[in-house]
């Protein structure tokens, strides 16, 4: 006799996702996991666009969808509300900025069962928010080794990997009973901190190379800057909570920024410092322009020019955010209002 599929609860935080939430929900409902063994909990953070209306329309046609209110408006609060409300033996976190392949739920749940992993995730195929050169450049930058380092779920892998974190997550319910819920102080990076706790207590996280979701990148350079500033801003708080910096790559943008500013400040009195700063800046510019030029044949010269701007926006925004977070979190100003909320 074939075992009955596990009941799965999808927890989907969102806020002001009018352009994306409909296609996201449609992709989930088009999946091949048995519909009677699935619920989709959409946790809306008081959207002021048509997000709630679109979710309600889909819920009217698909009883599996439930719209829940997230009065705190931030992602970790939404996740915790969803986990508490979930009825499933397996809980999947999903993102409204993403469209999922039909086998997404089936493959993640099967891998969870077959491998003994405590968390399973997919690769992200980062796609432009629109057809403009800037949007295409942002999509390239946020999936490029120079842009985001060795984050495998972004840059890709050809084999299953045990990793330190994944983009979203698929867990058995008992993981939350053992590890606890998401830290609501962390408006950003809450998944990194949760996964660190999981691994520190003997858990394992598996990245699947054959499950690929379409992630829509930010549309403008301003949105990109704000997002990476926020990522950087909350990293020091994560480090303080877990008692260490989780990966060296988190420090690189801030250290590079300090090197440039320190060299500029000392340059008037220490000529060697000015030369060192100029050399570091020139080396960075050479790599930046080289990566942009390599993208030109595929994406066009205008996108390549935008890419040359996108890389430093990612790195400098993250570095500035990290340095601001060192000061802000020390003074206990890490409330969500400390940085503007964004998608």
| CA atoms within 13 Å, Cβ hemisphere of 212 | 13
Q: Which residues contact 322 (CB under 8 A, 6 or more apart)?
A: 232, 233, 235, 236, 250, 251, 253, 254
Helices 190-200 and 221-242: crossing angle, nearest 10°? 30
Residue 307 placed within a domain: yes
Q: Which residues contact 247 (CB under 8 A, 6 or more apart)?
A: 164
Q: What is the pLDDT of residues 109-161, one digit of tens each?
A: 999 999 999 999 999 999 999 999 999 999 999 999 999 987 888 888 899 99
| CA atoms within 13 Å, Cβ hemisphere of 325 | 30
Query: What pLDDT does residue 330 have?
Result: 63
Its domain, for residue 304, covers 242-338
Query: What pLDDT does residue 243 have?
Result: 81
Q: What is the pLDDT of residues 221-274, one digit of tens each?
A: 999 999 999 999 999 998 888 887 767 778 899 999 999 999 888 887 888 888
Residue 276 placed within a domain: yes
User: What is the 3 state secondary structure string of 191-254?
Assistant: HHHHHHHHHHCCCCEEEEEEEEEEEECCCCHHHHHHHHHHHHHHHHHHHHHHCCCCCHHHCHHH
Residue 69 placed within a domain: no
Query: What pLDDT does residue 2 have?
Result: 56
Contact between 259 and 284 (Cβ < 8 Å): no
Angle at 226 between CA 225 and CA 230, to 5 degrees: 115
Residue 189 placed within a domain: no
Over residues 86-108, the mean pLDDT reads 96
The token pair that represents 182 in the structure block: 């998401």
Residue 311 placed within a domain: yes
| Rounded Cα gap, residues 149 and 326, in angstroms | 22
Q: Could you give the C-alpha distances from 284 to 256, 289, 316, in angstroms and in order?
A: 10, 9, 12
The total domain count for the chain is 1
| Rounded Cα gap, residues 17 and 15, in angstroms | 6
């Amino acid at each position: 006799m074939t075992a009955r599929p596990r009941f799965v609860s999808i927890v989907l935080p969102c806020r002001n996702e009018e352009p994306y939430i409909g296609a996201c929900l449609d992709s989930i409902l088009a999946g091949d996991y048995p519909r009677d063994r699935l619920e989709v909990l959409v946790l809306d953070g008081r959207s002021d666009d048509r997000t709630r209306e679109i979710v309600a329309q889909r819920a009217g046609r698909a009883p599996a969808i439930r719209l829940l209110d997230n009065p705190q408006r931030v992602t970790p609060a939404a996740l915790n509300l969803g986990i508490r409300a979930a009825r499933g033996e397996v809980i999947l976190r999903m993102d409204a900025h993403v469209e999922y392949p039909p086998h997404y739920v089936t493959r993640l749940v099967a891998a969870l069962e077959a491998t003994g992993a405590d968390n399973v995730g997919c690769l992200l195929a980062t796609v432009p928010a629109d057809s403009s050169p800037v949007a295409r450049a942002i999509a390239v930058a946020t999936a490029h080794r120079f842009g985001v380092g060795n984050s495998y779920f972004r840059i890709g892998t050809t084999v299953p990997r045990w990793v330190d974190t994944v983009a979203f997550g698929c867990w058995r319910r008992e993981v939350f009973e053992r590890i606890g819920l998401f830290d609501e102080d962390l408006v950003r990076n809450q998944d990194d901190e949760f996964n660190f706790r999981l691994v520190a207590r003997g858990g394992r996280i598996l990245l699947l190379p054959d499950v690929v979701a379409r992630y829509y990148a930010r549309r403008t350079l301003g949105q990109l800057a704000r997002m990476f500033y926020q990522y950087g801003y909350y990293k020091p708080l994560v480090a303080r909570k877990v008692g260490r910096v989780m990966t060296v790559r988190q420090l690189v943008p801030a250290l590079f920024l300090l090197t440039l500013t320190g060299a500029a400040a000392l340059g008037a009195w220490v000529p060697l410092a000015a030369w060192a700063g100029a050399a570091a800046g020139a080396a960075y510019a050479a790599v930046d322009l080289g990566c942009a030029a390599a993208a030109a044949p595929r994406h066009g010269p205008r996108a390549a020019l935008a890419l040359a701007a996108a890389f430093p926006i990612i790195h400098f925004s993250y570095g500035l955010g990290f340095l601001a977070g060192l000061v802000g979190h020390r003074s206990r100003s890490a409330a969500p209002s400390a940085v503007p909320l964004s998608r």
